């Protein structure tokens, strides 16, 4: 079997017309018919039901087309990998990250990288910790920016930065104006939380657990700006990173004095999976010590 035969076969299968397929492929109709006939002879079965120039896949053809399409996709992927190896300044980086990291950190990482490597493109995916880990395991992305580290076997980790959270309250709240507070001061206060499976949410839950109580969750939001909006409306208090780019009138910040108030953000990837030169360039760029980027 030849490469051209596979392409010719799939084109005829898609268009269901030999003459139109020949026009699309820029070959003569007799040459296309001969190629299909030769393929059927090699397989020992007919692949199409014919009615003049119109054709339709039979059950053998449908089975074969499914396999051929997957095979050609793998070949194209292989060609792309070879091309990237010979030209590391091109290619695509598939990056997944937590929603809460998309406000400031990830855009800064992408921008600083593209200043050095403008020819490399990005495929960006946002999701929860669970979503991103599933995507990484299935090969749907090259790298994950996450917080905290997932700790699963076979997943490598490289720290990028760290951050602390502070108390955020509505303007005029009884806790506003203080130099600092402990977690115990939050007991019984209506709390604006983050949705389940968020890395920041899970880390803060561990902090509360060490203090022996759960926050009184009044509402849960998808992202940090929404949390801040609920606080500004006087619906509760929360813990947020000051460096997350949250700027909103009607809220006040109070330093949180907590022993475990330090969170790490890092890059994760599958240890034994092929990483394209573009993905490796981005990984190495992000893990450089002189980036000085903050969440």
Edge-to-edge strand ranges of the sheet holding 180-181: 180-181, 251-256, 165-170, 238-241
Residue 196 half-sphere exposure, CB side, CA atoms within 13 Å? 0
Pick the CATH number of 165-261 from 3.40.50.150, 3.30.43.10, 3.40.190.10, 3.30.360.10: 3.40.190.10
Q: How far apart are CA 82 and CA 101, in angstroms?
A: 33
Q: In this structure, what DSSP letter does residue 195 have?
A: P
Quick one: pLDDT at residue 156? 95
Break the chain into its structural domains and give their ranges. 3-86, 92-160+268-286, 165-261
Quick one: pLDDT at residue 144? 95
Phi-psi region of 139 (alpha: psi -120 to 50; beta: other; left: phi over 0): left
**Two tokens, residue 85:** 């190896």
Alpha-carbon distance values, 196 to 70, 127, 200, 209, 223 (Å): 36, 11, 10, 16, 11
Phi-psi region of 236 (alpha: psi -120 to 50; beta: other; left: phi over 0): left
Domains 3-86 and 165-261 share a fold: no
Q: Which CATH architecture has domain 92-160+268-286?
A: 3-Layer(aba) Sandwich (3.40)
Q: How far apart are CA 208 and CA 222, in angstroms?
A: 20
Low-confidence ranges of the chain (pLDDT < 50): none
Q: How far apart are CA 276 and CA 94, in angstroms?
A: 10
* 163 contacts: CB under 8 Å, gap ≥ 6: 241, 243, 244, 262, 263, 265, 294, 295
> What is residue 214's three-state secondary structure?
coil
- What are the helix (H) ranges across the chain? 3-15, 18-25, 29-43, 59-86, 105-116, 129-137, 199-211, 224-232, 277-286
Quick one: pLDDT at residue 198? 62
> What is residue 168's three-state secondary structure?
strand
- pTM for the model: 0.61
Quick one: pLDDT at residue 197? 55
Q: Summarize pLDDT for 204-223 with one digit per residue, the tens.
A: 888 888 888 889 999 998 77
**Two tokens, residue 40:** 């059927």
Quick one: pLDDT at residue 81? 74
Quick one: pLDDT at residue 41? 92
10 in Cβ contact with 72 (< 8 Å): yes
**Two tokens, residue 79:** 């060609």
Phi-psi region of 98 (alpha: psi -120 to 50; beta: other; left: phi over 0): beta
Pick the CATH number of 3-86 from 3.30.70.120, 1.10.10.10, 2.60.40.420, 3.20.80.10: 1.10.10.10
Q: How far apart are CA 11 and CA 13, in angstroms?
A: 5
């Amino acid at each position: 079997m030849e490469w051209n035969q596979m392409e010719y076969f799939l084109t005829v299968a898609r268009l269901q017309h030999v003459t139109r397929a020949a026009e699309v492929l820029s070959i003569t109709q007799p040459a296309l018919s001969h190629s299909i006939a030769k393929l059927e002879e090699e397989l020992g079965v007919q692949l199409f039901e014919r009615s003049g120039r119109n054709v339709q896949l039979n059950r053998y053809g449908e089975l074969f087309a499914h396999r051929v399409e997957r095979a050609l996709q793998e070949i194209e992927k292989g060609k792309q990998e070879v091309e990237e190896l010979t030209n590391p300044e091109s290619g695509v980086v598939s990056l997944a990250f937590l929603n809460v990291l998309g406000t400031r950190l990830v855009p800064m990482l992408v921008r600083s990288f593209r200043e050095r490597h403008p020819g490399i493109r990005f495929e960006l995916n946002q999701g929860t910790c669970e979503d991103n880990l599933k995507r990484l395991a299935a090969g749907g992305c090259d790298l994950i920016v996450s917080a905290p580290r997932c700790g699963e076997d076979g997943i490598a980790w490289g720290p990028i930065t760290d951050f602390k959270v502070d108390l955020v309250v509505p303007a005029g709240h009884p806790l506003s104006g203080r130099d600092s507070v402990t977690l115990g001061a939050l007991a019984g206060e209506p709390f604006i939380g983050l949705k389940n499976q968020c890395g920041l949410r899970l880390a803060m839950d561990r902090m509360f657990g060490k203090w022996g109580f759960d926050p009184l969750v009044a509402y849960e939001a998808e992202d940090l700006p929404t949390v801040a909006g609920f606080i500004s409306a006087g619906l509760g208090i929360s813990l947020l990173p000051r460096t997350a780019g949250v700027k909103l009138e009607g809220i006040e910040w109070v330093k949180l004095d907590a022993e475990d108030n330090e969170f790490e953000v890092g890059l994760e990837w599958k240890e034994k999976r092929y990483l394209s030169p573009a993905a490796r360039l981005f990984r190495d760029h992000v893990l450089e010590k002189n980036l000085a980027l903050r969440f």
